[in-house]
Structure 1
Amino acid sequence: MSSISLKNVSVSFPIYTGTTRSLRQEILSTLGGKISAHAKTTYVDALHDITMEIEQGDRLGIIGHNGAGKTTLLRVLSGIYPPSSGEIKIDGEVTTLTDVSLGMDVEATGWQNIIFRSVMMGKTYKEARELSPAIAEFSELGEFLDLPVRTYSTGMFMRLAFAISTAFTPDILVLDELIGAGDAAFQTKSLARLQGLLDESNIIVISSHNLGIIKSHCTKALYLGKGSVIAMGGVEEVLEQHRVDNA
């Protein structure tokens, strides 16, 4: 059984050179949360005292304005950021689609990157090699897989990254918006694959500005503001709170 438990989780980032308003605001817009100061060191409090339980079968949608802390929370759930304080417990294999190119080496070939990225996502080298033919077929890159990734167009690079990142169904899927890659035909194929992951994963956590996506794909919603929980519960109730706050 997959599950995620957060108890009083906070994340703070020290800004040792954050002496100007413009720099502080730029960091805030990227990480979310609010600025505080302790012992002459400036901090961005990206998340503050987050407590929640996500169980098998849950589809959690995260909403909030830019800078609310959504991406930071996704990165905590993905294991990219450790909490500064509090406790987090995750049972199950997590796949994150917040950055599908994470772990790829532009100097290596497409085939080599299939192995690198698959291993980074938790597969053994043997499993990565077994997955390689199916990933290659889905990417439709053919002989280009023998070339260094630095020679790829942006579209080709995203095809490969997406094909690798969605090659297997995880226990827990974390993603930032619904993503596609490549031309119209490939986007249709990639969205169909993504829909399969949404249907089959034990737990889904998705951040989106598209409230229609939250309504159609989620069973619970979390509304963040300045790194703190404003509301969490049923989708309709949380979206209504969001609507009232932004009327």
Structure 2
Amino acid sequence: MDYAVQINDVSVKFNLARERVDSLKEYFVRLLKGSHKVDEFFALKNVSFNIEKGDSFALVGSNGSGKSTMLKVISGIYKPTSGNLGVNGRIAPMIELGAGFDMDLTARENVFLNGAVLGYSRDFMKQNFNAIIDFAELWDFVDVPMKNFSSGMQARLGFSIATLVDPDILIVDEILSVGDAHFRGKCEAKMSEMKKKGVTLILVSHSINQILSVCKNAVWINKGNLMMVGTAEDVCNEYMKNKDL
């Protein structure tokens, strides 16, 4: 079987300081005395699952369950504390609203900045600039600094750039929830079009209806633990019955 993503016994641990330290000197003094207290927090605990190439796959769970951490591991933003993963293909991640943008620059300037971050040449971005702004429906604001944009407008521009060229794997984390219904419909249509071309889609959404309409398979993560892997319908049904765990 050909996999786009393989997650093998992955754990991610964060250290959370329990006391406020006001200076670097104080930090080292407390460290030497052994009085600097740190709590260990596992965002993911020995999670394993695979995503087939061309699949449309959802991560389901409540806030703080570890879904976004998992997406960041897949995207290479976080390294696992233990375990390993394999990713086969080029990723276009849409994980954090505004990532890759400079809020003091205009939308026009940010198209080229974000394109450079994704590895596209300036000439390529020039050739596709009109298509990006057309899809985002932002011609009236193209020369406005993005600090004046709503979260929905930022999401529209980010999605338009990320899906300019079909990646092998498209990762979308909740940011479509800030857009209006019209644009969410456009995005879902675009994702369906990409799926038909064989792009692997990985989606995080609190909208069960959106997951069921877009995704074929899913995984449920709760408090960092893997609860279930299966079809989107089966996983969502089980999650909705037990989401207060």
Is TM (by shorter chain) over 0.5? yes
Contact 1:171/1:202, CA 8 A, preserved across alignment = yes
Counterparts of 1:235 and 1:144 in 2: how far apart (Å)? 38
1:112-149 C-alpha deviation (Å, 9 max, x unpaired): 21011122223233333332232133333336423433
CA distance in 1, matches of 2:149, 2:134: 17
- TM-score of the superposed pair, with normalisation by structure 2: 0.78
Pick the aligned partner of 2:162 from 165, 168, 188.
165
> How far off is 1:219 after superposition?
2.3
After superposition, the C-alpha distances for 1:148-178 in whole angstroms (9 at most, x for unaligned) are 3334455544443333233232211111247
The percentage of counterpart residues that share the same residue type is 31
Is the aligned partner of 1:45 residue 2:46?
no
Alignment of 1:81-230 (within 5 A): 81-142=78-139, 144-152=141-149, 156-177=153-174, 179=176, 186=183, 188-230=185-227
User: Is 1:232 paired with 2:229?
Assistant: yes
The CA distance in 2 between the partners of 1:211 and 1:157, in whole Å, is 24
Q: Distance in 1 between matches of 2:97 and 2:76?
A: 15
Contact kept? 1:170, 1:201, Cα under 8 Å: no
The more displaced of 209-218 and 92-101 is 209-218
Of 222-231 and 173-182, the range deviating more from structure 2: 173-182
SS at match of 2:235: helix
Give the paired residue count. 228
Residue 234 of structure 1 deviates from its aligned partner by 2.9
In the alignment, structure 2 segments of 5+ residues that lack a partner are: 21-35
Q: For residue 33 of structure 2, what is the aligned residue in structure 1?
A: none
Shift of 1:242: 2.6
Instruction: Indicate the residue corresponding to 1:12 in structure 2.
Output: 13
Let me know the Cα RMSD of the aligned residues.
2.9
The 3-state SS of whatever aligns with 1:62 is strand
Seen in structure 2, the aligned counterparts of structure 1 residues 147 and 98 have a Cα distance that, compared at 3 Å, is same
CA distance in 2, matches of 1:165, 1:100: 12
Which residue in the other structure is 1:24 paired with?
A: none
Distance in 1 of aligned mates of 2:69 and 2:221: 11
Aligned letter for 2:47?
A: I
Cα distance in 2, alignment partners of residues 212 and 153 from structure 1? 25
- In the alignment, the residues of structure 2 paired with residue 156 and residue 236 of structure 1 have an alpha-carbon distance, to the nearest angstrom, of 31
Say whether residues 1:80 and 2:77 are aligned partners. yes
AA of the residue aligned to 1:14: N
**C-alpha displacement at 1:46, in angstroms?**
0.3
Distance 1:178 1:101 in 2: 10
